[in-house]
Amino acid sequence: MALVTVVLNGETYHAWSQAVLRSNNSMIMLWITNSTEQSLQGAAAYTQTAAVMWEELKQQFSQGNAPRVRLIKADISNLKKGGCSVLSYFAELKRLCDELEGYLEPSVCTCRGCTSGAAKNAARNKEIEKLHIDSVWEVKDFSTLLNLTCY
């Protein structure tokens, strides 16, 4: 089954590339639409490109991550070892830190003077890194670690 009707040869690259882009865009939009509950699609359903659809959904739903981020931070702060093994404790700590990091925006900046917000994202990422390091280094010796409680 062909995704496009234009066959690439030495003279049809432009038409072929446009057909491939349109086809890929349509497939991605269909995937996004089919993987989103109908009641949540909102304005994204009327966009022309997958990139715009993605951004619409991101703007609509990424704002709701703040409560989850606060809960994860609290879970990290409250994590205790108790009856868990040391490996289980650190595995849970890593899982929480990884989940928290997944909510952070990338901190790559390509502009001069950082008008993109990447500096703010980098500071937030550093906070996560510090949380992880502080949680690990609060344990000064193994006997202290054994006396903690795991939740």
Q: What is the pLDDT of residues 16-62, one digit of tens each?
A: 999 998 898 989 999 998 998 888 877 777 888 999 998 888 887 77
pLDDT at 15: 92
Sign of CA dihedral 47, 50, 56, 60: positive
pLDDT of 148 over the 70 cut: no
- Asked if 112 and 44 sit in the same domain, the reply is no
- Asked if 42 and 105 sit in the same domain, the reply is no
- Asked if 75 and 142 sit in the same domain, the reply is yes
pTM as predicted: 0.47
Residue 74 sits in which domain range?
Answer: 64-146
Nearest to 120 by CA among 98, 97, 104: 104
pLDDT at 45: 78
Instruction: Count the domains in the chain.
Output: 2
- Asked if 21 and 92 sit in the same domain, the reply is no
pLDDT of 11 over the 50 cut: yes
